[in-house]
Copies of this chain bind each other. A is one copy, B any other.
């Protein structure tokens, strides 16, 4: 499928739940076929032998109207028979995979083992759900967020996010594999040729951070700074969802729209903030953003 890049194209850098909900709103206003989503894959994990791509699936399931509205992840009306059996054996079941959701991971794992790349498999899954938007993983290469927890050392992202429920102090975050990764086909073109580039309201550190860490992506966004808009995931000093506020603070950033403005200033000309943060507008503008 050839990508037509013109002013009608909106390219969105997206993490998981926050981005998915933003996209669900966007496609009410903008033709889905003219939305190109660059998805985060640094949360991907091989769980019990299956390749799971949590952020890509959250975007797909949400746009398909199939997401579990209570959790924001996983499928609505899900059953948990496989997990119950896993627990019967005393297996690790903190990373919950519903029965229907397992079908997605079985499919992805099969196709990858056949030699298909992640972008191809992601497109096949998105097509089956008929989501309309083009969803592309930022890279087909291995990219893994690694989190250094105080007193514990470095652990995987899902160990931090799900098993520890992001309730442990973080000293550092790095994106293993980033240096040697390359952007998936079309990603740089979609940023360069879009009418607008949007950084979705996702965690700047662990959702948008790995996307920007893939060589070439950050430069491509910077080159489009005047057409790039970020939507703040922080409202009134707190994350809309997840540990963004806590992570920003622990890693030396201000957990506010001003802190987000400082992080994104080299990349974006406009930061969309909530009315609750209207009083911070001048401070955001002082960082060089509208």
| Residue contact B106 to A91, C-beta cutoff 8 Å | yes
A89: nearest residue on chain B (CB-CB)?
A: B107
Determine whether the beta carbon of A86 is less than 8 Å from that of B106. yes
Judged by DSSP, the binding face of A is helix
User: Is A128 on the interface with B (CB-CB < 8 A)?
Assistant: yes
Contact A48 B88 (CB under 8 A): no
Name which of A15-23, A95-103, A194-202 contacts chain B.
A95-103
User: Does chain B have a CB within 8 A of A203?
Assistant: no
Contact A103 B81 (CB under 8 A): yes
Copies in the complex: 2
Contact at A81–B79, with CB atoms within 8 Å? yes
Q: For the complex, is A226 an interface residue (Cβ under 8 Å from B)?
A: no
Q: Which one, B49, B81, B99, contacts A110 given CB within 8 A?
A: B49
- A84–B246 alpha-carbon span in the complex (Å): 40
A101 surroundings in chain B (CB, below 8 A): 85
Question: Is B100 within 8 A of A102, CB to CB?
Answer: no
The interface size of chain A toward B, counting residues with CB under 8 Å, comes to 33
CA distance A79 to B109 in the complex (A): 21
Contacts of A104 in B (CB 8 A): 85, 89
A83 on interface, CB distance cutoff 8 Å: yes
Q: How far is A109 from B48 in the complex, measured between Cα atoms in Å?
A: 6
How far does the alpha carbon of A163 sit from the alpha carbon of B49 in the complex, in Å? 23
Q: Give Cα distance in the complex from A198 to B14, angstroms.
A: 61
Q: Complex Cα distance A90/B83, Å? A: 24
Chain A residues at the B interface, C-beta cutoff of 8 Å = 48-51, 79, 81-92, 98-104, 106-107, 109-111, 113, 124-125, 128
